[in-house]
Structure 1
């Protein structure tokens, strides 16, 4: 499963393809690397790749999955954005990922209750659907005032991540 890693302003998609002890085969943005990765006792990582040696110290920040990475010459802000992090980020932003007039779920789950029907008038911040994911129920809210144009799910539906749930006019 690929995860996003944000390094400064750059986002890289990283996928672990194979692991045999410390030897990893990793796909980074479509390019495959074979690396020897060692996590040392002092919290640094030693990486050998194609005859080059890199040492990186990752210092955790206050927020989960955020780090400051120190190399010999540079310092980087690093954030791991996996499915759980996307879910929590979107949940903290009123529980919905919205694009103007759309309500989507940031991760797979099950529809507990659809609270609106097509043609209903809703206010910004009004709960329109409740989703169960990761053993938690989340309320997904209308991103703006409007009229429900289309409801794409019903109670008890199983949904995919980033699936469109409700569209407003």
Structure 2
């Protein structure tokens, strides 16, 4: 089974090579991984890779194929679907704006940019506290912060638009 996982502009093809109980052999792009995956509770998984445990919460969005993923160190949105079925598999053209959305409900702890700031892809823009974890929400592109929709200490709902970033040509 092949699926495509997309996070902003970054996407990888994932293929399950072999599955025996909780043991998975997968390829992600051109790399292979042996994983021991256990479901801890509904939507929460423990993934053991090379002797290190990684816990992750996966929350299905109202939009088809979209999920919010929370780990101990980061949160991000991801689109997962059978390979070839996602909109925008090919490089988007003409879309010069991106939005940073709240992956889960939470409280805005800090805003690390102001309108007009030049930001790099992967730069932390907002820190959101949710489920006793601080989640760094990062710019999906190199660009300029065009609008900030929230203030510090604001409580936001899942998928709330937090920040608009305009791409730099």
Greater gyration radius: 1
> Please, what TM-score do these two structures have when normalized by structure 2?
0.49
> Please, what TM-score do these two structures have when normalized by structure 1?
0.49
Give 1 or 2: higher helix fraction.
1
